[in-house]
Amino acid sequence: MTAGRTPDADIFAARRWRDRRDRVADQAAPQTPQPAPAAGKGPRQTRRVDDALALGSAGQGSIKWLQAAAEGGSTEAMVRLGAELVDHPGRFSEAERWLRQAAEAGDPHGQLHYGRLLLFDGRAEEAEPWLEAAITAAPELAVGLVSDLRRRQADELADKWQQKAAEAGDAEAALDLAIAAIKRGDRPTAERWAQWARQLGHPDAESTLAVAAMESGDEQAAWTWMGRAAANGNVNAASAYGLYLVGEGRAKEAQPFLKQVAQADIEQVTGGDPEEMYLMALAIMELRDRPATIRAFENAARKGSAEAALMVGRFMLADDRWADGLPWLSRPGVTDLPDGGLLLGMAQAGAGQRDAAIKTYTAAARSGDARAAHKLGVLYENGGDPRRAIAWYERAADEGEASAMFNLGLMFASRDPALGERWMRKAAECGHQKAPYRMAALAAQAGREAEMRDWLRKGAAAGDQRAVEALADLARHDAAGGGRGWRRRGR
């Protein structure tokens, strides 16, 4: 016996039980004259129709039992029977008869299926009134018809019936028409249908109007509509609008919208879409709630967002949790992102996986990441291989990495002072925080006091505390009228 199917023996046993139950009920009933039932089905007939309809759903002998229920007056059975028979060879006329009977009885599903049958049989004029009646009575039924028409590339007819459904009050159809108009660049039509969807109560109408305005270049109107959508509880809109307000320097105004996102089940709201979940995690990050932010990025990463996995890795590395960062930074697609190879190499190096880090850094450096080349140089320098370290530092420096220039300045300071000073000067000119202090020391050694003071001022402006202290030493020296002056502190 096939699992989940009702065997014929059970069906017939149930039928015999029902017949016997009815006979017992008849025998037990008082034998007094009963009034004739009103037009329609009496209780026993209704029960038998319901039983037949249930048996028709059981998967065994469905056509037989659906026919019994249809003959008993069930329009649902008529519709289902017609839908079954239409695909049976030689029974098209019978299918049409049952569907017409359901349609004439006023069943919207019957009217829709009968009209659909006529339409696809090439009798469009006959189909029109039945489809019209069905969609007027139940606009949401149009979705299946529209889908069928689009599959058959009958887009003009699909547009017609979708419009009929929208006019009859189907908010989803109205919004679909708005979205289609946005895609073809017809903003007035998009706004008209989105406004109608809004009047019908569709929750996504305002955000669709925002998209329509953005597509036409009207950013002010777009963000106005997005704000209204957010205020009406649309979490996707709250995410976008909150980030917009933050970007505009209106962080205080953004807070309620960002909190709305943080309090939502973002997986449910987005339908599990990883990229939308990632954007919502970015919105939550603006609340400065670190645990909530990490959870949001982790959820998006588990759904497949490489960008979210990269962000989780950043948080782990910021806490020196190198081993915890590895699983996230090793996820598919992460090393294809900017910083992906660099951060994975950092996690591997921090976790003591030197060989893996060298491999990762090398791949990232050869793809053009100068920071990875610099990190590779650091690994080789710390590993006692200055030749390779210099080669990778030079490669990174040639691509503008100031830290590599600084390290080259340090490495050449004793073996080739002039070359070391040139690299240190380049590092300072490229904004390395510690390089001006080094240049000040070199200037002091060469007796170039004015240049020394200038470099110290630059170092202090860059935030180097040693340069700040050196300037203070010089100020005290100047105030005292001479003395030893600035004494260089540390490396």
Among residues of the chain, what percentage have pLDDT more than 70?
86
96-113 confidence digits (pLDDT tens): 999 999 999 999 999 999
Which range among 6-20, 58-72, 127-141 shows the weakest confidence by mean pLDDT? Answer: 6-20
The pLDDT confidence band at residue 54, using thresholds 50, 70 and 90, is low
- Residue 487 pLDDT more than 50? yes
- What stretches of 334-489 show up as alpha helix (H) in DSSP? 340-350, 354-366, 370-382, 386-398, 402-415, 417-429, 435-445, 449-461, 465-480
- Residue 23 pLDDT more than 60? no
Number of C-beta neighbours around residue 101 at 10 A: 19
365-412 confidence digits (pLDDT tens): 999 999 999 999 999 999 999 999 999 999 999 999 999 999 999 999
C-alpha closest to that of 141 among 178, 105, 172: 172
Which range among 174-188, 217-231, 417-431, 432-446 shows the weakest confidence by mean pLDDT? Answer: 174-188
- Residue 22 pLDDT more than 90? no
Given this model, what pLDDT does residue 33 score?
Answer: 36
- Residue 2 pLDDT more than 90? no
The pLDDT confidence band at residue 481, using thresholds 50, 70 and 90, is confident
Provide φ and ψ at 89, rounded to 5°.
Answer: -55, 135
294-327 confidence digits (pLDDT tens): 999 999 999 999 999 999 999 999 999 999 999 9
Q: How many CA atoms lie less than 13 Å away from 385 in the CB half-sphere?
A: 11
Length of the chain: 491
